[in-house]
Every structure is written in structure tokens, then in C-alpha cells.
Amino acid sequence: MFELAGMMIHDPNESLWVAQEAMCALKRADNNVIARSRDRLLAFLKLDDWMVRRAAMEALTPIATDPLHYRAVLPWVVVSFGDVTTLAALATGWQLSEQLKSADPKIKALSVAALKSSHN
């Protein structure tokens, strides 16, 4: 199932609605599966559609504190919280804060730096 979700996310001709739902499914996948779609998910964070951005944030959050991916993912996820205008999108913030509690100090430091830079 997650392989099919990844294919939908990577298909540039797929509708945003279908890609959004695929992202919602992908957030339940193993980190290695999510990581294969990392760059495409990061691209979705830059769109204007808040529902698509929320789905991308949710899909990326599991790997946001992963030692292999945090440098690429964490700053974008943290900055995206600054653009949140709906309560639904804040739920991902709770998940990220739980992950950060046990994260390596350098990962925590990057999250603080990203948060500070998003409010300058």
C-alpha cells in the first residue's frame, strides 16, 4: 500500500487531492519508506494549499528527527508551523515535540534555530 502511495506522490500528473490523501497514508509507513519520498514531500510544503502542506508536514514529521534526514527536513517542518492557520495542522507539532524530547542535542538545537529564524 505504501509503495502505491509513494507512486501517487511522485506522479506530477496526479491531482493534489489524490497526492494529499497519499501523504496521509504515507505518514503511517516506516521511516525508510517515507524517506524515499522526502524531496517530493518537501516540495509540497512550498505550495499555497494549506491542506496539502498539512499533509506533507504530517508525512515528514516521523523523519524530522531521524539522524539521516533531520538536516533536510526539520527546518522546513518547523518553519511550516509558522504558516499554520488552522488548528488541525498543529497536531503535527505535538508529535514533533514528543520526538524532540528524546532527540540528540544537535537535532534539538537545529529545531530551536529554525524556530527562531522563522520569526525574524
pLDDT, residue 115, reads 80
Give the predicted TM-score (pTM) of the model.
0.87
3-state SS, 9-55, equals HHCCCCCHHHHHHHHHHHCCCCHHHHHHCHHHHHHHCCCCCHHHHHH
For the chain, give every domain's residue range: 2-118
pLDDT digits (tens, 9 = 90+) for 60-110: 999 999 999 999 999 998 888 777 666 666 677 778 888 889 999 999 898
The single-letter code of the amino acid at 79 is V
Kindly state the DSSP code that residue 102 receives in the 8-state scheme: T
Question: How many CA atoms lie less than 13 Å away from 53 in the CB half-sphere?
Answer: 20
